[in-house]
């Protein structure tokens, strides 16, 4: 069976089974130049000489006949598009189009030709194989399907396998089938027969897959299992040739017998299973109050206890709030929720693995939980697992009995080093034992990973952790000062798990006892024992600092490999990857669907045929976003996504469905952004990871002085440059000796000088550099820049329509030459302002002025037009307060939630903080604006009161606390929360901060501050009749009515002068 024959058979079946079809398209499909002639002949043999055949195969010789056309590129797609207008179906004429690649010129064929993919070709192979005339033993096709092998093997590989079996004259039918299984990436099976072929093939596939991923598939050192492992460990030669030398027949026979016994065990277990009693329904009479975090509860106890009783009080509270429920801790095998004994089946599955791992499986992904358990149970030396393809896949699910490689010291190593390692191992074992005994039936390790501060509140645990850090610092110093490169590598890999794939992909996760994590956890707990009395605000800020991710180096060196980049933590454990996870496809899909829906709503004509171009990779997220919109809105006829690159993106079932229906189409563009205008798109998505930023990261120390260590908290320093800012976390060697020793060894491994600090660089994608030239696009099209962070200044001639922080890891900005479609979203907001006789031209003109004045955009895929106008007005007003160098930080994200105590997105109106230099003073303005409905505000005896006053006063207290130079954890925590709000705003403007930058760097070290409040309220608020002065503490408050006059003053005629 040749692949060309199989394609012809499948195409003929589709056309003959459903009358009236014009033809089929098979794209993409695996074809070689040698298959072209056979395919054309076979198609016309089965469908008749009247059939048109167009084939595109790279490297094929061009053919141009009356009804056969062959080309290397898109010419075949163009010819097929021409032929579709000539096909006379009533005269039994049909069209068959086959292509190795997806061509943009084939877009018109998707409406007229029925798609035939790999799944259809594989099913055709099964029909042929079990049809009786193939020459293959009957039942082979069904066995391939039942075993799951059919789904992952290409049609071309199936044809190659069938040819080998049919050409084998030395063996019987089934024997030949088992002998040539290596062509399907399986080992040989000399006893394969028709009685249990599906089960044997499935077990064969399981054993081979485990060997390929580095899992130990058996305990013997000889025999087929060791040969199977050796086949994948060999670095040279063809893997199929090596698999052909391994016969698993004996092992598969044993596996079939075990399967029978397991079936009997399952039947017994089903009879003896105990049904859990139904859980009582919760009463709806009382709504539970929002619980305080465990960190805040510890801080409350520490602040309320006497100095000598503080540690005992904290330990007692930690035991009370650190109890783990039986469900969270995991039950022992055989125990049911009601205490009765159950008969457990012998089948070992995911449930059994989770039961054995206990609470650890509830804290970490299953694969990583196994790795951390193996690391903890061992001696602390680094462990490495091998993955078949993608390293991260083993983090999710580690195959059973997978064998890691341990990076330990050599037997003939230095005596002093071996003694130091032995001392470290002993201290580590002491901490493990203490965690176990303190767990009181739970899982001490899981509790420590999930809430390290709760476990460290126990005196014995904290004492053992400090001792481990002490010996770890000595071992790290010894390795750094030695000339032994082997010792340095061993110590550098301590307390880490590593997964490396054969393609070079690497993931490293730091274990819970790593000095980078343990040292900061102990330091943060020490911050709770501060002598200073904290107010409620200080406690909340400290709790946030205690629960945030620890400071860490930006890169991780790997011998002989490119450095790894800091990625998103997993279960609270720091993670480094070859390609750090930046743009999450799911988040890109959600953001894309929001943008597409907004465009369709504002430009309804696009429903009949929206076109989207994508610059950047991967495009899966945008394609999935389009599929989400199509599934939610059946009135949209079609969306076409055009992108450069090779092949077809991996599609979800949802995307596959709309692709089959013809409502979603994919087109290929030539590589490079210059080809995007040819797609004539409505939307252009530009996917920009932070690594694409041209700014070079320098390994240098900022010139400004460092903060104090804050009693255990590591402070953060910022340095803005261009569209990015560098985050520097200094390390005090007296407070954190183990952390300082780790940084020194890390610097040695990275070939740089120790800095006693961790550096991390954050970038905002510059719109002015990404959108340098805009030619050939429709004037009304939207360009959507998607990146971890996006600047807010568009190039000249373009308007910033939207700027959204979609999540903590993704932002997008929308720019366009034309504001007309976007202006339609603002009509309701303009009407709320009291603007009458809103003609389309007036709405467009007002939107244009607003877009020119604001740096937050004029529309939002997730907020109403009224909220957008309010946010734009408060931004414009705050910048006008400074006249010269002023910046605006919108209150959004985790820092805003910490500062306000609530999520500002859930409140009416918009809030922001304006800041800038006024002579030698750093001035802050807390701004608020709302249309129609605002937070409650009252003016009583010259004072502002109500919920609006509460929000503003809270922010003012944070600013004042952050500016104090008294030191302590409260001021350090306040500066952290405030800086993470202000410095990104400074960087997003894509301009130099100058005096503001210098004053902000010295906040808390002598910088003088001043504060004021600016509020724009609707007429319904009835505060001071629309304009007046008030006080909030010592800060002046300017209250203004948000109506037509104030809008014109702000947006149209230059704005008010500062009333503060």
Q: What is the pLDDT of residues 624-655, one digit of tens each?
A: 999 999 998 989 999 999 887 544 567 788 88
Residue 640 included in any domain: yes
Q: Do both 777 and 910 map to the same domain? A: no
Cβ atoms of 562 and 598 closer than 8 Å: no
Q: pLDDT tier at 401 (50, 70, 90 boundaries)?
A: low
pLDDT at residue 475, rounded to an integer: 93
pLDDT at residue 612, rounded to an integer: 92
Query: Where among 76, 100, 116 does a domain terminate?
Result: 116
Please write the tens of the pLDDT for every residue from 23-66. 898 887 888 888 999 999 999 999 999 999 999 988 889 999 99
In terms of Cα–Cα distance, which of 70, 8, 80, 20 is closest to 45?
Answer: 8
Q: pLDDT tier at 702 (50, 70, 90 boundaries)?
A: very low
| pLDDT of 500 strictly over 60 | yes
**Section 825-838 average pLDDT:** 75
Q: What is the distance in angstroms between the CA of the first residue and the CA of the last residue of the chain?
A: 85
pLDDT at residue 451, rounded to an integer: 78
Q: Do both 86 and 155 map to the same domain? A: no
Compute the chain's Rg from CA coordinates.
34
pLDDT at residue 863, rounded to an integer: 75
Q: How far apart are alpha carbons 1042 and 1056 in whole angstroms?
A: 13
Question: Which residues on adjacent β-strands are paired with residue 718?
Answer: 727
pLDDT at residue 709, rounded to an integer: 33
Q: Do both 356 and 373 map to the same domain? A: yes
Residue 683 included in any domain: yes
| pLDDT of 241 strictly over 70 | yes
Select the more confidently predicted residue: 348 or 75: 75
pLDDT at residue 706, rounded to an integer: 31
**Section 856-872 average pLDDT:** 80
| pLDDT of 213 strictly over 90 | no
Q: What is the mean pLDDT of the chain?
A: 78
**Section 589-602 average pLDDT:** 92
| pLDDT of 286 strictly over 60 | no
**Section 272-300 average pLDDT:** 50
Please write the tens of the pLDDT for every residue from 973-1024. 788 778 888 887 776 665 555 788 888 888 888 899 999 999 888 877 666 5
| Residue 934 Cα to chain centre, angstroms | 36
Please write the tens of the pLDDT for every residue from 331-368. 333 333 333 333 333 334 445 556 666 777 777 888 88
| pLDDT of 755 strictly over 50 | yes
pLDDT at residue 698, rounded to an integer: 29
Residue 1058 included in any domain: no
Cβ atoms of 847 and 809 closer than 8 Å: no
| pLDDT of 292 strictly over 80 | no
Residue 988 included in any domain: yes
Q: Residues near 428 by Cβ (< 8 Å), separated by ≥ 6?
A: 379, 380, 468, 513
Provide the token pair at 906: 């859930």
Please write the tens of the pLDDT for every residue from 428-441. 999 999 988 887 65
Q: How far apart are alpha carbons 521 and 547 in whole angstroms?
A: 10
pLDDT at residue 1050, rounded to an integer: 79
Q: Which domain holds residue 15?
A: 3-116
Q: How far apart are alpha carbons 618 and 408 in whole angstroms?
A: 39
Percent pLDDT > 90 in the chain is 16
Query: Where among 532, 559, 577 does a domain terminate?
Result: 577
**Section 66-83 average pLDDT:** 89
pLDDT at residue 439, rounded to an integer: 75
Q: Do both 135 and 188 map to the same domain? A: yes
- The neighbour count for residue 280, using CB atoms within 10 Å, is 6
Select the more confidently predicted residue: 648 or 780: 780
Please write the tens of the pLDDT for every residue from 178-187. 999 988 888 8
| pLDDT of 294 strictly over 80 | no
Select the more confidently predicted residue: 264 or 256: 256
**Section 220-242 average pLDDT:** 69
Please write the tens of the pLDDT for every residue from 111-137. 678 888 888 888 899 989 888 788 898
Select the more confidently predicted residue: 598 or 902: 598
In terms of Cα–Cα distance, which of 426, 425, 567 is closest to 491?
Answer: 425
Q: Do both 663 and 557 map to the same domain? A: no
Residue 1016 included in any domain: yes
pLDDT at residue 320, rounded to an integer: 66
Instruction: Give the CA distances from residue 277 to residues 282, 336, 817, in Å, rounded to whole numbers and listed in that order.
Output: 15, 11, 64
| pLDDT of 108 strictly over 90 | no
| Residue 72 Cα to chain centre, angstroms | 38
Q: Residues near 972 by Cβ (< 8 Å), separated by ≥ 6?
A: 545, 707, 708, 710, 711, 713, 715
Q: Do both 368 and 449 map to the same domain? A: yes
In 185-280 the beta strands, taken as DSSP E runs, fall at none
Q: Do both 725 and 773 map to the same domain? A: no
Residue 47 included in any domain: yes
Q: Do both 675 and 607 map to the same domain? A: yes
pLDDT at residue 861, rounded to an integer: 79
pLDDT at residue 148, rounded to an integer: 81
pLDDT at residue 654, rounded to an integer: 87
Provide the token pair at 351: 């449930």
- Coil, strand, or helix at residue 375? helix
| pLDDT of 284 strictly over 60 | no
**Section 461-484 average pLDDT:** 91
Select the more confidently predicted residue: 157 or 760: 157
Q: Do both 729 and 676 map to the same domain? A: no
**Section 779-805 average pLDDT:** 85
Q: Are β-strands 68-71 and 63-64 bridged in parallel, bridged antiparallel, or unpaired?
A: antiparallel
Cβ atoms of 116 and 87 closer than 8 Å: no
In terms of Cα–Cα distance, which of 75, 70, 10 is closest to 43?
Answer: 10
| Residue 403 Cα to chain centre, angstroms | 28
Q: How far apart are alpha carbons 229 and 211 in whole angstroms?
A: 5
Query: Where among 207, 233, 255 does a domain terminate?
Result: 255
Please write the tens of the pLDDT for every residue from 503-519. 778 899 999 999 998 99
Q: Do both 429 and 353 map to the same domain? A: yes
Q: Do both 615 and 537 map to the same domain? A: no
**Section 572-587 average pLDDT:** 78
Residue 63 included in any domain: yes
Q: pLDDT tier at 1053 (50, 70, 90 boundaries)?
A: low
Please write the tens of the pLDDT for every residue from 306-327. 666 666 776 777 666 654 333 2
Q: How far apart are alpha carbons 624 and 590 in whole angstroms?
A: 8
pLDDT at residue 278, rounded to an integer: 45
User: Domain tally for the chain?
Assistant: 6
| pLDDT of 472 strictly over 90 | yes
Q: Do both 535 and 680 map to the same domain? A: no
Provide the token pair at 956: 């003012």
Q: Is the dihedral of CA 182, 188, 190, 195 positive or negative?
A: negative
Q: pLDDT tier at 276 (50, 70, 90 boundaries)?
A: very low
Residue 290 included in any domain: no
Please write the tens of the pLDDT for every residue from 931-940. 877 778 777 7
């Amino acid at each position: 069976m040749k692949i060309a024959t199989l394609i012809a058979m499948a195409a003929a079946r589709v056309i003959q089974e459903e009358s009236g079809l014009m033809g089929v398209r098979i794209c993409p499909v695996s074809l070689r130049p040698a298959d072209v002639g056979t395919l054309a002949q076979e198609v016309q043999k089965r469908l008749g000489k009247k059939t048109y055949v167009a084939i595109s195969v790279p490297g094929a010789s061009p053919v141009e006949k009356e009804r056969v056309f062959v080309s290397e590129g898109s010419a075949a797609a163009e010819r097929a598009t021409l032929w579709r207008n000539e096909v006379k179906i009533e005269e039994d004429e049909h069209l068959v189009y086959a292509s190795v690649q997806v061509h943009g010129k084939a877009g018109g064929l998707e409406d007229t030709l029925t798609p035939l993919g790999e799944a259809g070709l594989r099913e055709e192979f099964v029909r042929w194989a079990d049809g009786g005339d193939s020459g293959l033993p009957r039942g082979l096709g069904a066995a391939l399907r039942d075993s799951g092998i059919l789904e992952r093997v290409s049609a071309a590989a199936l044809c190659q396998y069938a040819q080998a079996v049919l050409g084998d004259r030395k063996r019987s039918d089934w024997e030949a089938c088992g002998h040539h299984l290596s062509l399907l990436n399986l080992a040989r099976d000399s006893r394969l027969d028709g009685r249990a072929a599906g089960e044997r093939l499935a077990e064969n596939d399981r054993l081979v897959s485990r060997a390929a991923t580095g899992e130990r598939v058996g305990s013997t050192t000889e025999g087929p299992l060791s040969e199977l492992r050796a086949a994948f460990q060999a670095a040279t030669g063809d893997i199929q040739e090596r698999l052909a030398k391994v016969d698993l027949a004996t092992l598969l026979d044993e596996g079939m017998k075990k399967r029978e016994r397991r079936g009997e065990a399952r039947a017994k277990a089903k009879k003896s299973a105990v049904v859990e009693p139904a859980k009582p329904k919760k009463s709806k009479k009382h709504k539970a109050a929002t619980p305080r975090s465990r960190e805040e509860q510890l801080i409350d106890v520490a602040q309320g206890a006497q100095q000598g009783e503080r540690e005992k009080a904290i330990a007692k509270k930690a035991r009370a709030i650190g109890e783990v429920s039986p469900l969270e801790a995991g039950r022992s095998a055989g125990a049911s929720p009601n205490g009765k004994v159950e008969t457990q089946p012998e089948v070992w599955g995911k449930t059994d693995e989770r039961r054995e791992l206990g609470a650890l499986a509830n804290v970490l992904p299953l694969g990583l939980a196994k790795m951390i358990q193996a690391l903890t149970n061992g001696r602390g030396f680094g462990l490495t697992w091998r993955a078949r393809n993608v390293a991260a896949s083993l983090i999710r699910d580690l195959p059973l009995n997978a064998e890691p490689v341990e990076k330990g010291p050599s037997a003939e190593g230095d005596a002093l080093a071996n003694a130091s390692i032995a001392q470290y191992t002993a201290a580590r074992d002491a901490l493990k034992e203490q965690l176990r005994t303190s767990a009181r039936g739970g899982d001490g390790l899981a509790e420590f990973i999930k809430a390290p501060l709760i476990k460290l509140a126990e005196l014995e645990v904290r004492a053992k952790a400090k001792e481990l850090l002490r010996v770890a610092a000595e071992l790290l110093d010894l390795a750094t000062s030695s000339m032994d490169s082997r010792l340095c590598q061993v110590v550098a890999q301590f307390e880490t798990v590593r997964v490396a794939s054969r393609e070079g992909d690497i993931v490293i996760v730091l274990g819970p006892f790593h000095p980078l994590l343990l040292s900061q956890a102990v330091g943060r707990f020490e911050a709770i024992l501060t002598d200073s009395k904290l107010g409620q605000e200080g406690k909340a800020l400290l709790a946030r600092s205690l629960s945030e991710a620890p400071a860490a180096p930006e890169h991780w060196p790997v011998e002989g490999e490119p450095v790894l980049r800091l990625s998103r933590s997993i279960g609270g454990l720091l993670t480094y990857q070859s390609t750090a996870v930046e743009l999450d496809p799911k988040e890109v899909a959600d953001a894309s669907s929001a943008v597409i829906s907004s465009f369709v709503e504002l430009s309804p004509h696009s429903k009949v045929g929206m076109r989207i171009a994508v610059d950047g990779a991967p495009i899966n997220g945008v394609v999935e976003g389009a599929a989400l919109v199509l599934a939610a809105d059946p009135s949209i006829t079609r969306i076409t996504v055009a992108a450069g690159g090779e092949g077809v993106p991996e599609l979800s079932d949802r995307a596959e469905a709309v692709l089959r229906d013809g409502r979603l189409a994919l087109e290929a563009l030539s590589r490079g952004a210059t080809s995007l205008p040819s797609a004539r798109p409505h939307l252009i998505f530009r996917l920009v990871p932070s690594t694409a930023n041209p700014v070079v990261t320098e390994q240098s120390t900022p010139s400004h002085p460092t903060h104090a260590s804050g009693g255990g908290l590591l402070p953060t320093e910022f340095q803005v440059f261009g569209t990015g800012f560098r985050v520097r976390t200094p390390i005090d060697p007296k407070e954190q000796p183990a952390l300082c020793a780790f940084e020194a060894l890390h610097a040695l491994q990275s070939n740089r000088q120790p800095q006693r600090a961790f550096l991390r660089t954050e970038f905002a994608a510059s719109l002015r550099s990404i959108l340098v030239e805009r030619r050939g696009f429709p004037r009304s099209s939207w360009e959507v820049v998607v990146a971890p962070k996006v600047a807010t200044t568009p190039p000249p001639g373009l308007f910033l329509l939207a700027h959204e922080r979609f999540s903590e890891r993704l932002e997008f900005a929308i720019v366009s030459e034309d504001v007309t479609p976007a202006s339609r979203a603002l009509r309701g907001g303009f009407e709320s302002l009291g603007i009458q006789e809103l003609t389309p031209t007036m709405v467009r003109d007002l939107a244009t002025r607003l877009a020119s004045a604001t740096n937050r955009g004029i529309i939002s895929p997730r907020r109403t037009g009224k909220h957008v106008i309010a946010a734009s007005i408060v931004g414009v007003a705050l910048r006008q307060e400074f006249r010269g160098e002023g910046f605006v930080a919108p209150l959004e994200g985790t820092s805003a939630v910490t500062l306000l105590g609530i999520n500002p997105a859930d409140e009416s109106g918009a809030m922001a903080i304006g800041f800038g230099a006024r002579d030698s003073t750093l001035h802050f303005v807390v701004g608020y604006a709302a249309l129609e409905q605002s937070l409650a505000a009252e003016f009583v005896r010259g004072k502002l009161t109500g919920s609006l006053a509460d929000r503003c006063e809270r922010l003012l207290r944070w600013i004042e606390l952050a500016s104090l130079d008294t030191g302590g954890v409260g001021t350090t925590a306040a500066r952290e929360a405030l800086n993470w709000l202000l410095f990104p705003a400074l960087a997003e403007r894509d301009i130099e901060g100058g005096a503001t930058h210098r004053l902000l760097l010295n906040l808390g070290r002598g910088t003088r501050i001043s504060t004021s409040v600016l509020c724009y309220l609707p007429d319904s608020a009835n505060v001071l009749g629309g304009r007046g002065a008030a006080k909030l503490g010592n800060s002046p408050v300017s209250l203004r009515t948000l109506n037509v006059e104030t809008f014109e003053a702000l947006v149209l005629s230059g704005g008010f002068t500062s009333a503060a």
